[in-house]
Structure 1
Amino acid sequence: MVNPVAPAAIRALKLARHTLAGLALLVGTFMLAAWVGSSLPRNRSWTEPAAGVPIMVETNGIHTAIVMPLVTPQKDWRGDFPAAHLGQPARPYTHVSVSWGERKVFLDTPTWSDLSPPTAIGAVTGGGGLLHVAHYVRPAPSDTARIVRLRPAEYARLVAAIERQVLPPGRRTIHVGYEDWDVFYDAPGRYHAGNTCNQWTSDTLAAAGVRIGRWTPFAGGVMKWIPRLPTR
């Protein structure tokens, strides 16, 4: 006698295999497109000056941010990002780190182990944006915080690009950060797989004129354009 369950189980197994194969193909295609897109340069002829305004591009391996002096002739960030919004406002802060990302990922995942599948899927398919602003005291350059020097006019364009993301006080909410030296602010923009936190970093650098990849959904696609510190 033929077991009627067997054909159904076989069909289910085949469906699962086809689904997994389709997902693997989709992920592989996305990864290849990201590699190609991040390898195509914008501002191809740009060269870093020997002297200028030093900024940093920092990464934790997944997310990237732009670190800038707190005060320069081009911009005093204390007006947009006052230390009074921090848990420890009295520290002698010298730099500010700015990045953009998806609201729920920022607010609901203090560590990457806290990232849930619904939150990740929501970010990929589309979510609101936030600015993450951290304040530093004399940050040291490293392989994960690399210095880039900009001409004064280039830095002014970088500032202008970031300023466009800063909502006026009456239109933004301040959200508590992970530590006592960082904070989140409401920001415009829609996060999705084609417009990630790392794409925001490269778009902002490109607006300043920096040579950077065209489509950089991953942190590595940004950092491969930022020279490492010379080894001694």
Structure 2
Amino acid sequence: MQGALRFGARLVAILVLLAVLYSAAALSFALSPVSGRPQQADGEPLVYVCTSLAHADIVMPSRDPLIDWSTHFPAVTPPGLPAGAYLAFGWGDLRFFREVPTWADVRPSIALSALAGVNDTALRVIAINPPANDPDCRALRVDRAGRQALIDYIRATLADETQSRPVEQAHLEAYYLARGRYSPLRTCNQWVADALAAAGLPHALFAPFSFSITWPLEKPPLLPGKS
């Protein structure tokens, strides 16, 4: 009995230590981000990053000069959708998306299965109004090369880019099977950080939490001709 208790205590101590090290690494990378490159984006449409307590989305115009997303995601871009609508793109564990609409719905089995990477992943796409006045969204000025990189990154996330039918849909929200497996090292926020990296925007190399996305973006952008 005492041996089992000692083993349990050691296991808890190890898990706590790993959690502390994980959080410390996230803080370190968020405070020392990659600065990104200069963006010549005058006159270009705005891109947004929208965050919640634990999740982040890339938000792009539904009709960008570089792409009309309705040809790729007709399920969330019906003919009556306003021309100025935006699409929010997020990646994550499909079961978690489906079964955890609020934090009150989190169950240990769902969280553990997501962290273990045993479930399918999905690209979630939601049609929304322009988020300019949303306090949880940050506007980003991204040049054409950066937006094309974001477009390519999002499309490459799909498990089958030629399949436009979602695995689940509710009004203007749809889920599409995606590439990759969710894990402690590959979270929904890491997916957004990698998107920002592709676009040449400030980002943390290790970004497991939503603050890992927002903190690097709060630093002043690098201006052309400045170092």
Same fold (TM over 0.5): yes
Matched, 1:138 2:130: yes
Instruction: Report % sequence identity.
Output: 29
Q: Distance in 2 between matches of 1:22 and 1:98?
A: 36
Note the alpha carbon deviations across 1:169-192, whole angstroms, 9 max, x for none: 448643124xx3211111111111
- Which structure's residues are more often strand, by fraction? 1
Q: Which position in structure 1 is the counterpart of 2:168?
A: 175
Q: Distance in 2 between matches of 1:81 and 1:184?
A: 10
Compute the RMSD of aligned alpha carbons: 2.3
Aligned counterpart in structure 1 of residue 184 of structure 2, from 189, 193, 208: 193
Q: Which amino acid aligns with 2:86?
A: H
Q: Distance in 2 between matches of 1:50 and 1:91?
A: 26
Q: Which position in structure 2 is the counterpart of 1:5?
A: none
**Number of residue equivalences:** 215
Q: Distance in 2 between matches of 1:30 and 1:69?
A: 35
Matched, 1:80 2:72: yes
Instruction: Name the SS for the 1:176 alignment partner.
Output: strand
Whether contact under 8 Å (2:48, 2:139) holds in the other structure is yes
Q: Which amino acid aligns with 1:176?
A: Q
Compared with structure 1, are the counterparts of its residues 173 and 37 closer, same or farther at alpha carbon in structure 2 (3 Å cutoff)?
Answer: same
Q: Which position in structure 2 is the counterpart of 1:92?
A: 82
Whether contact under 8 Å (2:115, 2:184) holds in the other structure is yes
Q: Which position in structure 2 is the counterpart of 1:116?
A: 107
Q: Which amino acid aligns with 1:174?
A: V
Q: Which position in structure 2 is the counterpart of 1:62?
A: 54
Structure 2: tracts of 5 or more residues without a match = 220-227
Matched, 1:216 2:195: no
Q: Distance in 1 between matches of 2:45 and 2:184?
A: 32
Compared with structure 1, are the counterparts of its residues 89 and 104 closer, same or farther at alpha carbon in structure 2 (3 Å cutoff)?
Answer: farther
Whether contact under 8 Å (1:172, 1:186) holds in the other structure is no
> TM-score, normalising length from structure 1?
0.83
Q: Which amino acid aligns with 2:212?
A: G
Q: Distance in 2 between matches of 1:57 and 1:12?
A: 47
Q: Which position in structure 2 is the counterpart of 1:36?
A: 28
Q: Which position in structure 1 is the counterpart of 2:223?
A: none
Q: Which position in structure 2 is the counterpart of 1:4?
A: none
Q: Which amino acid aligns with 2:169?
A: V
Structure showing greater Rg: 1
Q: Distance in 2 between matches of 1:86 and 1:27?
A: 38
Compared with structure 1, are the counterparts of its residues 193 and 147 closer, same or farther at alpha carbon in structure 2 (3 Å cutoff)?
Answer: same
